[in-house]
Amino acid sequence: MESNYYAYSDKELIRKWGKKLSSLRVNAGLSQTELAQKTGMSRSSIAGIEKGRNFSIASLISISRTLELLDEFEFFLKKEEFELTPMEIYEKEKKRKKRGGYKI
């Protein structure tokens, strides 16, 4: 079953993540200033993320590490059976360039 997250725009998802971050931070008993100090980010950066401003993956990882939420990234971090070797990636890219797209 497909989640309804696909109905949201990128900006809407970023706003939702910001609100979620704010809740997680408060539940962890941290102020924006404390989270900023623990992550090495500025308080204004934390506030901006919570308000739905764009943020980097590095910021997301740093905040997640501080809030002990890195396990939430398991899908992206675990080695998958379908993970391609560098040579397989090269071959697929070469074929894609010849055809003008990926074959599914």
pLDDT digit string (tens) for 30-71? Answer: 999 999 999 999 999 999 999 999 999 999 999 999 999 999
Class of domain 4-75: mainly alpha
Q: For the chain, give the mean pLDDT.
A: 88
Domain locations along the chain = 4-75
The token pair at 57 is 């993956």
**Whole-angstrom distance, CA of residue 51 vs CA of residue 56:** 14
pLDDT score recorded for residue 85: 80
Residue 34: helix, strand or coil by DSSP? helix
Percent of residues, the chain, with pLDDT higher than 90 = 62
- pLDDT more than 70, % of the chain: 88
